[in-house]
Amino acid sequence: MSTIAGAALAVVTSVLVSLLLLYLTARTRRADRQEQYRREDQVAAAVNAAAEAQRIQAEDAAALVRKVADDAAGAAQKLHDAQAETIARTNEVARLAAQQAAQTNGTLDGINTQLGQVHTLVNQRLTDITERALAATVALLAARQEMATRTIEGGGRPTAAALDLIEETRREIADLQNNLAARAVQQATVDAAGAPDDG
């Protein structure tokens, strides 16, 4: 009789632990999702501000173009910094998730599948954010090049600082493009690892 009671207690304990883990995972995901939405709202606001700045720049005189370009440079830098921080955090989360999956491989296939799905969602969101950052940085490059062109057309020469900003913006574009390519490779690896065996 005590063996049956012990077995029943073990089953109940196992179920309770599983339910607790599911609850904690759901709560953590909900908090992460809310934080991600908040960051996406910030990124969308920054991108919308940059788009509005471009419209004003196209309509205004060369003096206004310089001011808008300076404002856009600040917004793009903030966006770039936020993107770098988000990417670093996500890479750490992905690293920890992969480490945990390696430790529990074979007994927790369901969790591995869920981690792959979470990674896919996070990777897609970060890819979207990176694509938005790339579009904003490309727009910023166009604004800076336009400002230099207008300076030349006005009979002047762009400053060394202005030319340095153009080169820095080009490097940022290349970095963002490389980041997108790396994300695609990373996602393909996750997708391949999650594919069912044919055997």
Burial (Cβ within 10 Å: 0-12, 13-18, ≥19) of residue 87: middle
> What sign has the CA pseudo-torsion 13, 14, 17, 19?
negative
Task: Evaluate whether residue 10 is within a structural domain.
Answer: no
Task: Evaluate whether residue 174 is within a structural domain.
Answer: yes
Q: pLDDT per residue over 147-190, tens digit each?
A: 999 999 999 999 999 899 999 999 999 999 999 898 888 888 87
Task: Evaluate whether residue 23 is within a structural domain.
Answer: no
Task: Evaluate whether residue 5 is within a structural domain.
Answer: no
Q: pLDDT per residue over 119-138, tens digit each?
A: 677 778 888 888 898 899 99
pTM: 0.41
Task: Evaluate whether residue 139 is within a structural domain.
Answer: yes
Least confident of 25-39, 85-99, 159-173: 85-99
The pair of structure tokens assigned to 104 is: 């529990």
Task: Evaluate whether residue 4 is within a structural domain.
Answer: no
Among 118, 114, 135, 115, residue whose Cα is nearest residue 180:
135
Task: Evaluate whether residue 25 is within a structural domain.
Answer: no
Of the pLDDT bands very low, low, confident and very high (cuts 50, 70, 90), residue 77 is confident
Range of the domain at 160: 32-194
CATH of the domain at 110: 1.20.58.590
Q: Give the angle 26-185-98 at the CA atoms, nearest 5°.
A: 40
Task: Evaluate whether residue 19 is within a structural domain.
Answer: no
The answer for residues whose C-beta is within 8 angstroms of residue 129's C-beta and 6 or more apart is: 39, 40, 43, 83, 86
Number of domains in the chain: 1
